[in-house]
């Protein structure tokens, strides 16, 4: 993760990597939505990546930065307690614990992440076209 940012391709590449981490987290949240556990400690907790700006710190290139997903953190939310005495996973008091995944929130997050991934692709293809034109200068 400590590779240096040399040019515009590195900027977009790492930003896309960060968005992919975000999409992975969303996918695992959605896959585990409504998972059931028999005690609160075992219940699935939704995960969210933490984004951090990475600067290119050579003085010549100030203002150039990209983003990294530095960690993926578990959200501090309590599982949903439900009274279902007949359930095979129920504890001795008859409770089950559902994973507290907010599906709507995850969907919106997923749309935003994919939109931002596409933006970075757009940057790359534009820059690629510009560089090819520059390379063909005077022909």
Partner 1 sequence: MINNIKQQFEVYSNALGLRNKRNEILASNIANAATPQYKARDVDFEVELARSLSVGPMNTTSGGHIALGSKNLPGKIQYREPLQPSMDGNTVELQVEQMEFAQNTIRYQTTLNFINSKLSGLMSAIRGE
Site map 13..32 versus partner 1, x via CB under 8 A: -xx---x--x----------
Cβ(12)–Cβ(113) below 8 Å: no
Residues 34 to 93 in contact with partner 1, rule: CB under 8 A? 51-53, 59-67
Q: Does 130 engage in binding with partner 1 (CB under 8 A)?
A: yes
Rg from Cα positions in the chain: 22
Q: Which stretch binds partner 1 (CB under 8 A): 37-45, 81-89, 100-108, 124-132?
A: 124-132
Count CB neighbours of 33 within 10 A: 16
| CA terminus-to-terminus distance, the chain | 40
CB 44 within 8 A of CB 108: no
Binding interface with partner 1 (CB under 8 A): 7-8, 11-12, 14-15, 19, 22, 51-53, 59-67, 112-113, 116, 119-120, 122-123, 126-127, 130, 133-134, 137-138
């Amino acid at each position: 993760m400590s590779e240096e940012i040399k040019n515009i391709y590195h900027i977009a590449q790492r930003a896309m990597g960060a968005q992919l981490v975000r999409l992975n987290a969303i996918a695992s949240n959605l896959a585990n939505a409504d998972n059931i556990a028999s005690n609160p400690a075992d219940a699935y907790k939704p995960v969210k990546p933490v984004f951090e700006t990475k600067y290119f710190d050579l003085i010549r290139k100030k203002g150039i930065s990209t983003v990294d997903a530095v960690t993926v953190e578990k959200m501090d939310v309590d599982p949903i307690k439900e009274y279902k005495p007949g359930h095979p996973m129920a504890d001795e008091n008859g409770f089950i614990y559902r994973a507290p995944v907010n599906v709507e929130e995850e969907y919106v997050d997923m749309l935003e992440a994919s939109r931002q991934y596409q933006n970075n692709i757009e940057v790359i293809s534009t820059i690629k076209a510009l560089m090819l034109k520059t390379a063909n200068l005077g022909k």
